[in-house]
């Protein structure tokens, strides 16, 4: 039994000896401790480091591969105060034009925010379902401030400030939560939490496998 146990440990080490290291090219999932850390402030001398450049590159790739509207450094395994956000125009939105308008969405080019700080401009809150690539397959209603001001740096350390409203304000608040060790689950209306594909589970007799691979929600 002891020999078998040692053999299994060796196999386990061989299996994971080439495991990737952060910043990842995939999105970590709920349970990974990094999602509960309060992220560290980025110093100016870090901006030109190879590790930071790799983080920025991987964030852009992940947003494109996962087709998501926002990502944070913790979701790639790095506890740094960096996030990125984008929003498609109505012609590239997966839903209907009516839904796009109802949610207050608007086009927004991919933008990186370093050490972002939020100021609330309108305390009115709007409630919509939210999902998260770090909690794949679920959604819940979350109330967010309807208008905020975001201040921080771009990826080159230049200061910038923007006013964001509607869906863009929601994306920013969602990603800021990640930088503070919070998940949308922590601020959601919990009775509304659902598996986004519960009906598919019923229709297929439970023969559904949710994949964590980008752009492939269901695996065979």
Q: DSSP letter string over 62-111?
A: HHHHHT-SEEEGGGGT--BSEEEEEE--GGG-SS-HHHHHHTT---EEEE
Measured from the Cβ of residue 191, the count of other Cβ atoms closer than 10 Å reads 8
Element (H, E) at 59: helix 50-66
Element (H, E) at 13: helix 2-16
**Which residue in the list 130, 133, 155, 175 is annotated as catalytic?**
175
Element (H, E) at 195: strand 194-195
What CA–CA distance (Å, rounded) separates 78 from 80? Answer: 6
Which residues are CB-contacts of 14 (< 8 A; sequence separation ≥ 6)? none
Q: Which of 85, 74, 89 is nearest to 154 (CA)?
A: 85
Residue 51 is among the residues annotated as catalytic for this protein: no
Which residues are CB-contacts of 214 (< 8 A; sequence separation ≥ 6)? 26, 27, 62, 65, 66, 67
What CA–CA distance (Å, rounded) separates 197 from 195? Answer: 5
Indicate which residues carry an active-site annotation.
Answer: 175
């Amino acid at each position: 039994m002891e020999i078998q146990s040692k053999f299994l440990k060796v196999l386990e080490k061989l299996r994971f000896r080439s495991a990737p290291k952060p910043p990842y090219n995939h999105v970590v999932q709920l349970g990974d401790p990094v999602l509960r850390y309060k992220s560290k402030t980025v110093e100016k001398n870090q901006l030109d480091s190879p590790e930071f450049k790799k983080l920025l590159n991987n964030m852009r790739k992940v947003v494109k591969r996962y087709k998501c509207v926002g990502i944070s450094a913790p979701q790639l395994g790095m506890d740094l105060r960096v996030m990125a956000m984008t929003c498609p125009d109505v012609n590239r939105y997966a839903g209907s034009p009516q839904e796009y308008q109802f949610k207050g969405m608007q086009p927004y080019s991919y933008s990186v925010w370093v050490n972002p700080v939020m100021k609330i401009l309108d305390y009115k809150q709007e409630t919509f379902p939210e999902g998260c690539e770090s909690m794949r397959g679920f959604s819940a209603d979350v109330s967010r401030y309807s208008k905020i001001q975001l201040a921080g740096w771009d990826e080159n350390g230049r200061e910038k400030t923007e006013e964001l409203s509607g869906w863009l304000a929601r994306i920013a608040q969602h990603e800021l939560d990640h930088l503070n060790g919070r998940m949308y689950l922590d601020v959601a209306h919990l009775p509304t939490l659902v598996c986004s594909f519960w009906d598919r589970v019923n229709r297929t007799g439970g023969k559904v496998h949710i994949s964590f691979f980008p752009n492939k929600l269901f695996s065979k």
